[in-house]
Structure formats: structure tokens, C-alpha cells
Amino acid sequence: MGPVTVARLDARFAALKTEGRAGLVTFVTSGDPDPATSQAILDGLPAAGADVIELGMPFTDPMADGPAIQAASLRALKAGQTVVKTLDMVRAFRAKDADTPIVLMGYYNPIYSYGRDRFLADAVEAGVDGLIVVDLPPEEDAELCLPAMDAGLAFIRLATPTTDEKRLPVVLANTSGFVYYVSIAGVTGTATPDPERVAQAVAGIKAHTRLPVAVGFGVKTPEQAAAFARTADAVVVGSALVAAVANTLDDDGRATDATTHAVIDLVKDLANGIQSARSGAAA
């Protein structure tokens, strides 16, 4: 297997460690609520304080996602979003930003339908840095994980509260970029995680890997982000940003003048929360 090149991700987490702070990983659904608004949101995230961007690939059956992200996927699909258009969004972003890592997050079905090898080649060419594919377990690494790493993409794996000591090494075996710790049992955005339990879990994962650990699922406020930033290398916020889109749409589900601003303003607040927790969390 060839070397996996995760230069942008590695560089970003190294910079965060030098700064002595956790990173902010923002999740938005590509194409939600429409292509132009979605591109404007994506392009505005780094200046607002996003250190890493997860870009959701909409899918009709997002089984790991809660109501907010499910609704975002359906809005995006209704607006005509496709894998091709998602990759085009990354290309447009890369024309302005060569440094901020972008990770595509989603499910295997759209990738399989697109054609695995074609998808990997096009993703690398577009400027994608990694993948999170939530419905492919480590037992299926030959299907996508190993080819993705061969192509130069990080393959980021989820660890959960139900991942025990025996399972963890299996989960981590071919993981690269960072480890995404799911802080609650269940789907995205539906419960509030307990900072003490999360801290213990992060310490447990770090005993098995040198990769950075990002904590997500259920983080909605700057205060929550700050709490997790004290122990994790990064904090992931998704459902709250997607809800900010939904809350600003008009009665016909279309974007308003407030839509992009609402997401960007929330990212700024979250980034400030994480900055306030500057305690050498990433050291």
C-alpha cells in the first residue's frame, strides 16, 4: 500500500498544537439550501474560524444523522445537489483557499453509484483531503478505505461510547487524519454529551493512537465547544450549523439574506468559545 498523504490535515493539527488550542471542525451539507448559498457558506467558514471543514454529501437515507441533517440532505437533493456538484464546490473553494482541509462525509451508496475509482481520482483532483464514510466498518476496508489511502486521502473513522477496548484497535488500524469520537450513543444533534465522560473516552483513545481526536455529535453552543476543547484536539459542530440554515429559510424553504450570516456568525461564536478554552488542550 502506498503512503497516505494527508498534508493539509497534518499541517493544520500541527499548527493547532503549536498554538496550544483545539480546532473547530464545522459540518455543513453541500447544496443546502441551494448551490449558491451553500457555496457562500463554505467559502466563508475559514475566515469565521473553521479550522477543518466537513462537507456532507447528501443522501436519501442518512441513517446516522438526526432530524436536522436529514432535512438538510433532503433540501439539498431537492435543489439538485449531486456528487459532481459537491466536488465542484470543493474546486471553487480551493481556488480561494489552498490551506483549509476539507473532509467529505457521508455514506457509501453515492460513492459506489458514482464509481469508486472515479470518485477517488476526482476527489483528489478537486482538493479533498479525507473521507468519513459512516456505513463502512473496518471489516470492509478493502472496499474503500485502503483504495482511498492509496489515492492520498485520509480515511477518518468514528469511535463511539460503545466502542470497547477490544474493538478500538480494529477501528484505529487504518484510520488516518484524525479520529472522530462520537460523544453520544445515537444520531447527530439529538442529545447533550457529558464533558467528563467525553474526557475519559478521549484519554482512552489517545492511549491507542497518536492521531488527533475530534469530538462531535451534540455540540451546539460556544460553552459546550469550550468544555470539549479542554480535552480534545478538535470539536465538531454540525447539527447546530445546519439548524441555523433551516431557521432562516422563508416559508417556501428558500434562503433569505440572513441564511449565510446566521451560519457564519455561529461559527465565529463557536471559535471564540474554543479560543476561551485555550489551555494547552492540543498539547
Q: Give DSSP secondary structure letters for 200-265.
A: HHHHHHHTT-SS-EEEESS--SHHHHHHHHTTSSEEEE-HHHHHHHHTT--TTS---THHHHHHHH
Is the whole model's pTM more than 0.85, yes or no? Answer: yes
Q: What is the pLDDT of residue 281?
A: 40
**pLDDT at 186 > cutoff 70:** no
**pLDDT at 282 > cutoff 50:** no
pLDDT band at 4 (very low <50, low <70, confident <90, very high): very low
Is the distance from CB of 80 to CB of 35 less than 8 angstroms? yes
User: Strand order in 157-159's β-sheet?
Assistant: 154-155, 130-133, 102-106, 52-56, 23-29, 234-237, 213-216, 179-182, 157-159
How far is 90 from 194, CA to CA, in rounded Å? 34
Out of 59-68, 90-99, 104-113, 177-186, least confident range = 59-68
32, 34, 51, 54: which is the annotated catalytic residue? 54
For residue 88, count CB atoms less than 10 angstroms from its CB and return exposed for 0-12, middle for 13-18, buried for 19 or more. Answer: middle
Judge whether 140 counts as a catalytic residue.
no
How far is 45 from 28, CA to CA, in rounded Å? 10
Domain range 7-276, its CATH number among 1.20.1070.10, 3.40.50.2300, 3.20.20.70, 3.30.70.1560: 3.20.20.70
- For the segment 159-176, what is each residue's pLDDT rounded down to a tens digit? 988 888 889 999 999 999
Q: What is the pLDDT of residue 6?
A: 62
Mean pLDDT value of segment 151-155: 96
β-pair partners for 25: 52, 236
Residue 167 dihedral angles phi and psi, to the nearest 5° = -75, -30
Q: What is the pLDDT of residue 248?
A: 97
65, 122, 129, 233: which is the annotated catalytic residue? 65
**pLDDT at 229 > cutoff 80:** yes
Mean pLDDT value of segment 234-244: 94
Judge whether 165 counts as a catalytic residue.
no
**pLDDT at 247 > cutoff 60:** yes
β-pair partners for 216: 182
pLDDT band at 283 (very low <50, low <70, confident <90, very high): very low
Q: What is the pLDDT of residue 164?
A: 85
Q: What is the pLDDT of residue 189?
A: 54
pLDDT band at 60 (very low <50, low <70, confident <90, very high): confident
